[in-house]
Amino acid sequence: MSNTVPTRVIYLLPGLGADERVFRDLLPLLDGEAHVLSWLLPEPHETLAHYAARLAERIPSEQPCLVAGVSFGGIVALEIGRLRPRARPVLISSVPSAAALPALLRLARATGIYKLIPPQLLNLFPRVGQWYFGVKGGNDYQLFKQILRDTDPTYARWAIDRLLHWNSHGIGPALRIHGTHDRVLPRGSVPVDYLIPGGTHFMILSRAEEIGRILNSLPVTPAL
């Protein structure tokens, strides 16, 4: 009987419009295998569940793993968890259910005003985005501006709509890593497993060392 320890595997999902660059400082810190699940272009009128199923095809069905998602990536990680029972979702700067969306986003959904705002708007006011997302200066700010510039508007519109109309009924449990100073998705009243003092919505970069330590400490499969 082999005593070989299985390789630790973690899949990473960036936030809305972001890509593997947001894991720039985190990836070198992670134990085992780490794979970034890059966003796919959504199909016309594609549901979030169908989109998550296409992403889940990259994860072997019987592979124990962590699926850590940042912001909108956390929501997709939860949807993947419906399809991959051995994948353990971890939410970073994200919400565990549609009921946990902040009041501002619920208002945007109710009024439909989000449909009138072009996704490229923050490109014109990057300093406003820097404050809202809690982006530090220097290299972090330069990367933030590049991500804004490179975000595909068609994808952004689709993702915002799916975020605001997410049906989280029957969603499974997840671990939460959240910052105390997240303006985009405040932690709310739902318990947080790992609360990072001073952490913002963009803490995947600014607090990568702390997040890396947490992820490395997590068992790939939950205790029975």
Q: Which amino acid is at 222?
A: P
Examine the pLDDT at 224 and tell me if it is beyond 90.
no
Q: How confident is the model at residue 124, as a pLDDT?
A: 67
User: Which of 4-8, 21-25, 148-152 bottoms out in mean pLDDT, i.e. has the lowest?
Assistant: 4-8
pLDDT tens by residue, 75-121 = 999 999 999 999 999 999 999 999 999 998 998 888 888 776 777 77
Distance CA 74, CA 31 (A): 20
Residue 142 sits in which domain range?
Answer: 9-217
CA angle 127, 166, 186 (to 5 degrees): 40
Question: What single string gives the DSSP state of each residue in the chain?
Answer: ---PPPPPEEEEE--TT--GGGGTTTGGG--SEEEE-PPPPPPTT--HHHHHHHHHTTS-TT--EEEEEETHHHHHHHHHHHH-TTEEEEEES--SSGGGS-HHHHHHHHH-GGGGS-TTHHHH-HHHHHHHHT--STHHHHHHHHHHHH--HHHHHHHHHHHHT---TT----EEEEETT-SSS--TTS--SEEETT--TTHHHHTHHHHHHHHHHS-SS---
User: Does any domain span residue 142?
Assistant: yes
Residue 207 lies inside a defined structural domain of this protein: yes
pLDDT of residue 194: 98
Please state which of the ranges 4-18, 21-35, 37-51 shows the lowest mean pLDDT: 4-18
Whether the pLDDT of residue 4 is over 60: the answer is no
Share of the chain above pLDDT 70, in %: 94
What is the tally of structural domains in the chain? 1
Q: Indicate whether 3 belongs to any domain.
A: no
The whole-number pLDDT of residue 170 equals 94
Q: Give 141-185 pLDDT, tens digit per residue.
A: 999 999 988 888 889 999 999 999 999 999 999 999 999 999 999
Residue 224 is assigned to a structural domain of this protein: no
What CATH number is given to the structural domain containing 193? 3.40.50.1820
Model-wide pTM > 0.95: no
Is 2 within a domain? no
pLDDT score recorded for residue 223: 55
